[in-house]
Amino acid sequence: MSIITIDFANDTSIRPATLLTTGRVLVLLLYLMVPFRLQADDGYELWLKYTRIADPTAAASYRRQLQGWRVVSEGATAEVARTELRRALPGLFGKTIPEAANGVNHQLVIGTSQSPLLASLQHTVVGLAPDGFVITHTRIQGKESIAIVSATETGMLYGVFHFLRLLQTGQPLAEVSSAPKTKVRILNHWDNLDRTVERGYAGFSLWDWHKLPGYIDPRYTDYARANASIGINGTVLTNVNANALVLTPMYLEKVKALADVFRPYGIRVYLTARFSAPMELGNLPTADPLNKAVRAWWQDKIREIYTYIPDFGGFTVKANSEGQPGPQNYGRTHADGANMLAEALQPYHGIVMWRAFVYDHQVPEDRTRQAYNEFKPLDGKFLPNVMVQVKNGPLDFQPREPFHPLFGAMPATALLPEFQLTQEYLGFATHLFYQAPLFKECLDADTYARGKGSPVSRVIDGTLDQHTLTGMAGVANIGNDRNWCGHPLAQANWYAFGRLAWDHQLSPSAVADEWIRMTLHQDAVVVQTIRAMLLATRETTVRYMTPLGLHHIMGWNHHYGPAPWIKDKERADWTSVYYHRADAQGIGFDRSSRGSNALGQYHPPVQALYNDLQQCPESYLLWFHHVPWSHTMRSGRTLWDELCYTYQQGVDSVAWMQTRWKTLHGKVDDALHTQVTALLAVQHQEATWWRDACLLYFQQFSKQPLPTGIPKPARTLEDYQRLEFPYAPGIRPKW
């Protein structure tokens, strides 16, 4: 819908009396239009749209409890809270709720527990984890009140966002006490200084380095609001494949400008540290972490950074991985490297997030075993302000991987799990893939590190081994696309990451529900339909891309589309044949005790679960076993037939999603409907492509026909093999 505005004031043919009446009519018209959207939903507002509460009974009940509101703390964060409420409440209720400085009956009072007015509530926040908050019904100065209170300003802001979420999702304004289960809830941006984004599918980087610090894009504030609303409190601005230039004064000025924007939202800024920076920027002959001059260089550099950004969070480091420099270049260990930086950061309370994503093609060892081999012996050797950052699985963000064996293997080390919100291996920003079920599968997996009931979630929230430095990292799926994440529904992954980093016990379904209600629609049928679609996406994609435990069979380098035929490259561990090992006998990577024994890196009950081919859950079958084509599956079908049917099921599920989405025509925003319809069609096409290309390729080994019901592929295997995508997104342009 578009509205035409007429500039009455400049139209001299309209007499003042008419002007008044016409003006009033226009105001009235605009007022009547408030509940409806004035323009197509372009996704920019994310889950902070604050559309009018649809259920009049709920709205009336909320209104009775909200005759006025006030924020009784002062400071930048309190001001942020006020601004958010001024934006949100009129949107939700269609009219302003007065700010009542002196208090009214049925008021909302917001502040920290240090505010004199909330002093009587101090005890309610004692013992809550930092930045936890309470929402409680109480009397303040004799007036019926709902109080939002926290020991910290950031916690107070989180409480405000939580309260708004209750209104947005139609929940009762009951008592709440909520505190984050992890401490460092952080996004990793793989953003380069030239604004390309490694594995980014939502446009270019948000950070407009060239215009910073002079021009502060208002979008930085909206980014901070969105993060704060879901409890994210840190952001690593730069790619882990790092560029040392970001540590120079010219860039630190720019980083400072961003940090200044984010600070009132409780968000700290972090950078990636290129290990060879002392050579590149400091002209030193070495970057050896035990070298005195190198250590002094980092100390000076870190001191300098803190003069710009007094609350700088610290560094993420990718070292000795995929060509990045690191301590091993000098015969030192990862602990030597991490500790050198940690020691220099320690006086400022900064931390080091040292990535465990390391593997070396010179090492004749199953790639999935290498990180454990490298890091397990270093357990207990890292300084207390180091976290070892471990990808959710032992390979690389595949549609399905078992949990990383380092979870549960380094009790003396703070482990930071890394998830990839950007969909490098999950259909880019074209496929609908709601990742909360993937995150949860990893978080809920039992490591058995201290016997049954030792899930990854308890390793990373510190409760299993009594760590206080805890967290969760997500590789951001954010770019400068108007809707932030490329696919209009991919914002759900950003949202779900934040919510689960705050509370890993939330269910993917509940999180989806919240996101849909806040972002798309409040109607029960719409919510149910979209939620069912979102929850199906993970399994669907696994089926049409990498069923039954297959992995890493995607396009070369850009990782777009199927390419199980990739072989004979400079690194075997970057090819597909290395992973699927299809031959005349069967398919799959034997990681059992008879094979690479990657399973041996897990605790015995986990080994027992997967080691026996007959017992192994079929979702991990080809991850852990090389299985004969004729193997009988639980369905009674042979492995070959099962593989074919599973690919087919994947394609069929996308078709099912298309029919579900069709039912929403006219119910959700038109532009959104059209866009998602088109993307689902692409997803269906690409799912079909995956099925056909993979089955044709594997058929060369199984030498069996496609079973009944599996359509004949539209093209030949050679056709699929010839496809090239020179400008697929997400890789650095070559110039």
Q: Which residues bind ligand GCW (CB under 6 A)?
A: 190, 198-199, 240-241, 318, 322, 357, 396-397, 424
Q: Which is nearer to ligand GCW, 199 or 254 (CB)?
A: 199
Q: Which is nearer to ligand GCW, 115 or 192 (CB)?
A: 192
Task: List the alpha helices (DSSP H) in 275-423.
Answer: 277-280, 292-308, 334-345, 367-375
To the nearest whole angstrom, how small is the minimum distance from the Cβ of residue 404 to ligand GCW? Answer: 13
Q: Is the separation of the CB atoms in 43 and 482 below 8 Å?
A: yes
Q: Which is nearer to ligand GCW, 51 or 420 (CB)?
A: 420
To the nearest whole angstrom, how small is the minimum distance from the Cβ of residue 171 to ligand GCW? Answer: 38
d(CA 536, CA 489): 14
> Would you say the C-alpha torsion 16, 18, 22, 28 has a positive or negative sign?
positive
690 Cα distance to chain centroid: 25
Q: Which is nearer to ligand GCW, 318 or 538 (CB)?
A: 318
Beta pairing, strands 627-628 & 586-587 = antiparallel
CA distances from 219 to 222, 225, 226, 499, 712 (A): 5, 10, 10, 22, 49
Q: Which is nearer to ligand GCW, 288 or 424 (CB)?
A: 424
Beta pairing, strands 268-272 & 234-236 = parallel
* 187 backbone dihedrals φ, ψ, rounded to 5°: -95, 140
Token digits for 525? Answer: 């049928």
Residue written as token pair 């064996």: 405
Q: Is the separation of the CB atoms in 408 and 420 below 8 Å?
A: no
Identify the burial level of 222 via C-beta atoms within 10 angstroms of its C-beta, where 0-12 means exposed, 13-18 middle and 19 or more buried.
middle
Taking residue 40's Cβ as centre, other Cβ atoms within 10 Å add up to 14
322 catalytically annotated: yes
To the nearest whole angstrom, how small is the minimum distance from the Cβ of residue 254 to ligand GCW? Answer: 21
What is Dmax (Cα atoms) for the chain?
Answer: 92
Q: Which is nearer to ligand GCW, 396 or 514 (CB)?
A: 396
To the nearest whole angstrom, how small is the minimum distance from the Cβ of residue 403 to ligand GCW? Answer: 17
Nearest-CA neighbor of 654 among 400, 433, 429? 433
SS3 219: helix
d(CA 670, CA 325): 50
618 catalytically annotated: no
Query: What DSSP letter does each residue of 702-726 carry, written as one string?
Result: H--PPPTTSPPPSS-HHHHHH---T
Say what angle helices 153-168 and 218-229 make with each other, to 10 degrees.
80
d(CA 208, CA 234): 19
> Would you say the C-alpha torsion 708, 712, 713, 714 has a positive or negative sign?
negative
To the nearest whole angstrom, how small is the minimum distance from the Cβ of residue 732 to ligand GCW? Answer: 9
The beta-strand segments (E) located in 398-483 are: 414-420, 471-475
| φ/ψ bin of 181: left (φ > 0), alpha (ψ from -120 to 50), beta (otherwise) | alpha
To the nearest whole angstrom, how small is the minimum distance from the Cβ of residue 566 to ligand GCW? Answer: 14
Taking residue 333's Cβ as centre, other Cβ atoms within 10 Å add up to 18
d(CA 103, CA 69): 8
To the nearest whole angstrom, how small is the minimum distance from the Cβ of residue 194 to ligand GCW? Answer: 15
Q: Which is nearer to ligand GCW, 198 or 523 (CB)?
A: 198
Q: Which is nearer to ligand GCW, 504 or 559 (CB)?
A: 559
Of the residues 424, 481, 514, 686, which is catalytic? 424
654 Cα distance to chain centroid: 23
Running DSSP on this structure, what letter comes out for residue 455? B
To the nearest whole angstrom, how small is the minimum distance from the Cβ of residue 523 to ligand GCW? Answer: 39
Of the residues 144, 222, 280, 322, which is catalytic? 322
To the nearest whole angstrom, how small is the minimum distance from the Cβ of residue 730 to ligand GCW? Answer: 8
Q: Which is nearer to ligand GCW, 448 or 623 (CB)?
A: 623
Of the residues 396, 514, 669, 692, which is catalytic? 396
379 catalytically annotated: no
Looking at the DSSP bridge assignments, the partners of residue 418 are 391, 473
Question: Closest CB to ligand GCW belongs to which residue?
Answer: 396
To the nearest whole angstrom, how small is the minimum distance from the Cβ of residue 489 to ligand GCW? Answer: 23
d(CA 21, CA 18): 5
| φ/ψ bin of 451: left (φ > 0), alpha (ψ from -120 to 50), beta (otherwise) | left
Q: Which is nearer to ligand GCW, 36 or 727 (CB)?
A: 727
Token digits for 2? Answer: 């578009």
SS3 632: strand
Taking residue 126's Cβ as centre, other Cβ atoms within 10 Å add up to 8
To the nearest whole angstrom, how small is the minimum distance from the Cβ of residue 579 to ligand GCW? Answer: 14
Q: Which is nearer to ligand GCW, 34 or 245 (CB)?
A: 245
- Which residues are the active-site residues? 322, 396, 424
